[in-house]
Amino acid sequence: MSRQRRHYTAALGGLLMLQLIGGCSQPRNELEQVLAAGELVVVTRNTATTYYEGPDGPTGMEYDLASGFANELGVKLRLVVANNVAEVLRQLAEGKAQFAAAGLTVTEPRQHWLRFTPAYQEVTQQLVYRRGTPRPASIGRMEGHLEVLAASSHAEHLSRLKGDYSHLAWTENSELNSEELLSLLYEGVIDYTVADSHEIAINQRFLPELRIAFDLTEPEFLAWAFPRFRDDSLYLAATEYFERMRSNGQLAQLVEKHYGHVSDFDYVGTRTFLRHIEQRLPQFRPQFETAATDNSLDWRLLAAMAYQESHWNPRAVSPTGVRGIMMLTQNTARDLGVERRTDPSQSIEGGSRYFKTLLERLPERIEGRDRYWLALAAYNIGYGHLEDARIITQQRGGNPDKWMDVKENLPLLHKRKWYSQTRYGYARGNEAVRYVENIRSYYDILAWNIDRNEPKPPPPATLPAAFMFANPAL
């Protein structure tokens, strides 16, 4: 049990003892009420940057943060899901939740009635338009229909700009969320919208026609919001939580988990991938599903790996002689008993078994998604080179069990100063980093595409241990 959780458990025990001594006395402050009730009630939004039900359960930056805080307190998390920012603020004002973890920007008007925790993310407001339509040069030279979220920081900023641009006009939508507005723009229903930079980065992979015209603001901060009309006990506990998350590196790890692979948007590559999902994937999907079942893996991850390797071309051949849909070397294929590397079924089955052996070779203490990202790097660069990079990571003060730290040091394997000290020598570590980050994006797009276009099956009673790769609680 963590020190923080022991502290809160002890506080709850003391509270209950006081209640027994004092008869029917009630908890005195909000933190005590949460501990006594065993439940933390948080209002959030249903978006890719906050909280959503993914193919494998709940996920999102805000979900992970709120789950971590609830776990520290030793209570259950109950989410109140609002449709948009206006509803989030209304739920807070009506006392329906203890605080908001909803991707809210810290603004001066909001600070009059809300108190914000330390910021956990930095974003910029950006004007978005659709590829193929004229790009506005500035906010003062924009022609067309601009629509933004009601009660949002975007609407607040436009109101301030109105003083300098009297002809500036926009519509505030109180029904949709930010991603739905971006979808309207993608479909050509509206001409422009304003969104935060992290929302655009996430959604460009699914809606590749979205384009950024220009930044509307300097960087702003996202934070949890607590009503000022309540006592500050729970707020102070949340503040301490964020300070610990920042100091121990867990906050940076969460940011990397959700955004570390989405910064480099490739329009042509994304459009090609979406087309190949429709045209090429169906003929190989049964083989991916069979191999995944046989090896307790996620078939979508195998499919993402194969796309990075060969673009789902079973006859693909690299200049170095690796070939097939999973791009196996001749030696690896021989060790796996794969007779024909260009046979899709053999290649997928062999590649899946090889990937599983890499997962199993990693130290047991490496958990969750880090285990999968490190195994992917080993699939690309070789297990020995990965171990060299992990040793360098430790020598430089990083955590060799965290992908976030190892990916910073993998590129050093092509520098003589570093590879001359390693067991396995020179390697193109920067390519391994791109390899893993590309697969992470392909996986996200593939999961989103399947979730959008196919009925969601009921979850099984139990999942193989390897499926924990996609568990947002990790």
pLDDT in tens, 283-296: 999 999 999 999 99
- What's the burial of 384, exposed, middle or buried (CB within 10 Å: 0-12/13-18/19+)? middle
pLDDT at 413: 93
**Using CA of residue 247, residue 250, residue 255, residue 256, what is the dihedral sign?**
positive
- Of the residues 32, 147, 199, 309, only one is catalytic, namely 309
DSSP strand pairing (114-116 vs 39-45): unpaired
CA–CA separation, 434 and 253 (whole Å): 18
Per the structure block, which two tokens stand in for 199? 């929302």
pLDDT at 266: 78
- Same domain? For 246 and 209 the reply is no
- Domain CATH code at residue 232: 3.40.190.10
At 308, the amino acid letter reads: Q
- Same domain? For 198 and 253 the reply is no
Per the structure block, which two tokens stand in for 302? 């195998």
Which of 183, 199, 217 is the last residue in one of the domains? 217
- Same domain? For 284 and 399 the reply is yes
Name the average pLDDT for the chain: 88
- Same domain? For 195 and 237 the reply is no
- Same domain? For 95 and 130 the reply is no
The answer, yes or no, to whether residue 471 has pLDDT greater than 50, is no
- Same domain? For 166 and 253 the reply is no
The residue range of the domain holding 340 is 267-470
- Domain CATH code at residue 371: 1.10.530.10
- Same domain? For 210 and 227 the reply is no
Residues above pLDDT 90, as percent of the chain: 71
Q: Which residues pair with 79 in a beta bridge?
A: 42
Per the structure block, which two tokens stand in for 4? 């923080």
CB-based contact 402:367 (threshold 8 Å): no
- Same domain? For 286 and 432 the reply is yes
CB-based contact 350:337 (threshold 8 Å): yes
Q: Which strands make up the sheet holding 125-130, listed edge to edge?
A: 193-196, 125-130, 210-215
Q: Which residues pair with 115 in a beta bridge?
A: 226
Q: Is 309 a catalytic residue?
A: yes
Average pLDDT for residues 444-460, to the nearest whole number? 72
CA distances from 235 to 5, 296, 301, 430 (A): 16, 42, 39, 42
Contacts of 284 (CB under 8 A, 6+ apart): 303, 306, 312, 314, 325, 344, 348
pLDDT tens-digit readout, 26-82: 658 999 999 999 999 999 998 889 997 754 568 889 999 999 999 999 999 999 999
- Same domain? For 112 and 163 the reply is no
pLDDT at 73: 97
Name the 3-class secondary structure at 286. Answer: helix
CA–CA separation, 468 and 205 (whole Å): 24
CA–CA separation, 372 and 165 (whole Å): 51
pLDDT tens-digit readout, 228-251: 999 999 999 999 999 999 999 999
pLDDT tens-digit readout, 344-400: 999 999 999 999 999 999 999 998 899 999 999 999 999 999 999 999 999 999 999
pLDDT tens-digit readout, 270-283: 889 999 999 999 99
- Same domain? For 255 and 272 the reply is no
Contacts of 301 (CB under 8 A, 6+ apart): 292, 372, 439, 443, 469
- Please state the pTM of the whole predicted model: 0.73
The structural domain count of the chain equals 3
List, as one string, the DSSP characters of 37-91.
HTEEEEEEEBBTTTBEEETTEEE-HHHHHHHHHHHHHT-EEEEEEESSHHHHHHH
pLDDT at 8: 52
- Same domain? For 66 and 175 the reply is no
Return the DSSP state at 161. Answer: H
Nearest to 456 by CA among 57, 63, 177: 57
